Structure 1
Amino acid sequence: MYAVNKTQAAILELPKRTVQVFVGGEAYKSEEMTMGKTVVAPHTNMDPHVHENEEEIVFVIKGSGEAIVGGIAEKMEPDTAVVFPKGVEHTVHNTGDTELEFVFMFHPAYDFGGRI
């Protein structure tokens, strides 16, 4: 199986966001990458965090917000990619009145602290 749809994706209820893991979870294991979708509720600020060993790239599907990457504010809107380099603190703020949805990709694979 090389395709994973939303009914097969692992769902993680993380602080201030819901994550669906399509690649890297039980449905399709990958040692090289993790890929999925994050939904952040309106007017919600994710907690700042760091991935020491993984680079993360997000691609905004819908909604609006702001990413703070190493202290620099970056606008998040549809059709925008934001890079979170490994070892750099980052956070996401949904500044809009609708959900902020983005696709995420990690390299190498990230297991969300053993949750997947």
Structure 2
Amino acid sequence: MFAKTNISQAKFIPAPGRKIAELISALATEAEGVTCRVVEIYPEQEGGDRQPHIHPDMEEVIFVLEGIGSVWVEDHEEKIIPHDLLVVPKKVPHRVINPGGQLKLLCFFPDENVGIP
């Protein structure tokens, strides 16, 4: 099914350490194989200190829209800046860290129903 949405009209909901706007998914647009979310990670000192998590059945693709932070993947930390594109393999512990300011991401998953860890 064809779907069109615009990031500027995203409606955010709170989640642990961040807020999320579901742009494309089974719930948002009746997508049949993909989920795309805008995610704003709160700064560490403002509740953004999430624990590492995994996606057991799928990879995650993360595009950095705004801000500077870092990504922690399997005991390795890497700085991220706008326009960086990351691929996190399935079953790999990871987390995104916001040291301060705004950090906005676009996250893609190859599944239409992705839970919010």
Backbone CA RMSD of aligned residues: 2.2
Post-superposition, which runs of at least 4 consecutive aligned residues in structure 1 deviate over 6 A?
Answer: none
Q: So what's the TM-score if we normalise by structure 2?
A: 0.83
Normalized per residue, the structure richer in strand is 1
**Which residue is 1:15 aligned to?**
16
Distance in 2 between residues matched to 1:25 and 1:13, nearest whole Å? 19
| Structure 1 counterpart of 2:109, from 106, 109, 113 | 106
Would the alpha carbon gap of residues 2 and 78 (structure 1) be closer, same or farther in structure 2, given more than 3 Å must change? same
Would the alpha carbon gap of residues 20 and 2 (structure 1) be closer, same or farther in structure 2, given more than 3 Å must change? same
* 1:2-35 per-position Cα deviation (integer Å, ceiling 9, x unaligned): 2123587563311000010100043312221100
**Which residue is 2:4 aligned to?**
3
| Structure 2 alignment gaps of length 5 or more | none
**Which residue is 1:88 aligned to?**
92
Normalized per residue, the structure richer in helix is 2
Percent identity of paired positions between Structure 1 and Structure 2: 28
